Amino acid sequence: MQENFFQLLEHAGLFAVFLSLFINILVSIIGVLPSVFITAGNLTIFGLYNGLIVSIIGEGLGAFISFILYRKGLKKWRHTDYQHPVILKLKQLEGYNAFWVILCLRILPFTPSGVITLGSAFSKVSLGIFTVASTLGKIPSIIIEASAIYGFMQIDSKWKYVIIVITLILFLLWKVKNKSS
């Protein structure tokens, strides 16, 4: 079924680009889902370079729209009563400092995008600074992600299964170890 979906998108042309961007925006709004699967789909359907471009545009649009929605939602929520120290620091973040903090956090590939967007929505940072810093920061992260995905896609199928099984075993061992701690 997954192969049929990819075949459909491969022949969908420009519609596939818009669908990918739409899915990326939804994932950004939800804030907790990893976009690695969207990047993998983009690389599969559009190739390495075009897939990278679509992924970067999708991440940028997703951050832009999520920021607007989060900020509107926070205005309705009475967050003045919420006095968590991290939130208090984020509220003061603006301008040049906000740009560099957002940029650095976005470069880190394992920092959840939703947390960065939500934290930025709490701050005084402008939409323009957030969007530029967020998109520029995501470029290195997406390139690293895409390189790993593209390399994985080049491996023979039996080795993919071995890697997946080993990864799942290591993940389960990690979960068991953390549960017992």
Under 8 Å between Cβ of 20 and 40: no
Residue 54 or 74, more confident: 54
Averaged pLDDT, 71-86: 67
- The reported pLDDT for the residue numbered 78 is 56
CA pair distance 60, 134, nearest whole angstrom: 7
Residue 69 or 37, more confident: 69
pTM of the entire structure?
Answer: 0.77
Lowest mean pLDDT among 83-92, 128-137, 139-148: 83-92
Averaged pLDDT, 94-119: 84
CA pair distance 42, 57, nearest whole angstrom: 11
Q: Which amino acid is at 34?
A: P
Distance (Å) of CA 157 to CA 37, 44, 91: 18, 15, 49
Residue 29 or 80, more confident: 29
DSSP structure string for 74-143: HHHTTGGG---HHHHHHHT--HHHHHHHHHHHHHSTTS-HHHHHHHHHHS---HHHHHHHHHHHHHHHHH
Averaged pLDDT, 121-129: 89
User: Is 58 a residue whose pLDDT tops 90?
Assistant: yes
